[in-house]
Amino acid sequence: MSEPVFLQKIRHLFHTASLDERRCALCHAPFSPVPHDAACAASSFPLPTASLCPSCTPLLRPRTAGYCPRCGRLQATPDAPPSPCGDCLAVPPPWDHFRFYGVYADVLKDLLLRGKFGADPVALNLLGNFLAQVCLDLPRPDAIVPMPLHPSRLRERGFNQCQELAYPVAEALGVPLRPDFLVRCLPTPHQVGLNRQERLNNLKNAFVASPAVRGMRILLIDDTCTTGTTLRRATLALLDSHGEAQAVDVAVVARTSSERSNSSNMSFLRQY
Ligand SMILES: [Zn+2]
Ligand SMILES: [Zn+2]
């Protein structure tokens, strides 16, 4: 199910208009963008920096050290080389590769909240481009699947922020975006105060994958990762006897810095 042509045109027009406005996507200050060719030469992925003013550009950088490469859990030392955490060594996650752009804090958090609750398409487009930047070296997926919302939540919000984040990734990788490959059939249950196993059980049967994913390599896109439970359940659904995907990779915009201190906050966010 590819995006209808008229929607692609609207998206393109919107994007062109937002660049021509020459206002920073973050602070809204007017600025003179670096010419496209110069931006291309300066960066392997020009679009995000082209949308940000020179003051805001340094505020957003991908995290390159101090995390577990299997699940993104942040290490105490931010500049330590990435190394697997104890949980991943004991029980490896069901996905092959895990990518995240940065820590759920400061500017990145503001942009996510703006995109998710403010329905700000510029913020979502920018974040989607950041996400694409950290997905470029992944094994080429056959399809990109956004984390689905339950239909009742989708009706309420009117859009799935993960799908909006996934458009620029699909565009950058030249891979079809298939929101129809994964369905959420149970609304988000209450997860606060539960241990890992209880959270996993709580989400059992929350997702159903399309049989069309059989044999495919899927790139699953989510906005944030706190405990990884939702991502685990969605990945397992894609790999199980209904889905039988060959492999699943996961990419999220932000990883929370602490499962405990952020669990209630993120659980609140997940309700919306
Ligand atoms: Zn700015
Ligand atoms: Zn880990």
Last residue of a domain, one of 10, 32, 57: 57
- Can you give the pLDDT at residue 241? 76
Choice between 231 and 20, residue whose per-residue pLDDT is larger: 231
| 243: in domain | yes
What pLDDT shows up at residue 31? Answer: 84
Q: Which ligand is nearest to the CA of 84?
A: 2
Confidence of residue 12 (pLDDT cuts 50, 70, 90): low
What integer best gives the mean pLDDT of the chain? 83
Domain that residue 16 falls in: 1-57
Residue 179 lies in a domain: yes
Tell whether 52 and 122 lie within a shared domain: no
190: in domain: yes
Taking only the tens place, the pLDDT of each residue in 37-82 is 444 444 444 445 567 888 888 888 888 999 999 999 999 888 999 9
Q: Specify which residues 103 forms β-bridges with.
A: 255
**144 and 22: one domain?**
no
* pLDDT higher than 80, residue 256: yes
Residue 80 lies in a domain: no
Share of residues in the chain with pLDDT > 90 (%): 53
Shared domain check, 107 and 211 = yes
| Rounded distance from Cα 55 to ligand 2 centre (Å) | 34
Domain contains 74: no
pTM for this structure?
Answer: 0.81
Answer yes or no: do 111 and 236 share one domain. Answer: yes
Predicted local distance difference test score (pLDDT) of residue 44 = 46
Question: Is pLDDT at 21 greater than 90 in this prediction?
Answer: no
134 CA to centre of ligand 1 in angstroms: 22
Please give the Cα distance from 30 to 70 (Å, whole number): 40
pLDDT per residue as tens digits for the range 142-173:
999 999 999 998 998 899 999 999 999 999 99
Residues 102 and 53 in one domain: no
**Residue 173 burial (CB count, 10 A):** 17
From the list 64, 75, 232, the residue with the least C-alpha distance to 84 is 75
Judge if 48 and 100 occupy the same domain.
no
| 37 and 107 together in one domain | no
Any domain includes 23: yes
Query: What's the domain count of the chain?
Result: 2
State the distance from the centre of ligand 1 to the C-alpha of 58, rounded, in angstroms. Answer: 10
Identify which ligand lies nearest to the alpha carbon of 255. Answer: 2
Q: What share of the chain is helix, strand, coil (3-state, %, to 5)?
A: 45, 15, 40
The answer to whether residue 4 sits within a structural domain is: yes
* CATH code of the domain containing 164: 3.40.50
Helix (H, G, I), strand (E, B) or coil at 129: helix
Predicted pLDDT of residue 243: 77
| CA-closest candidate to residue 153, choices 183, 198, 133, 129 | 183
Same domain, 28 and 145: no
Is there a single domain that holds both residue 146 and residue 238? yes
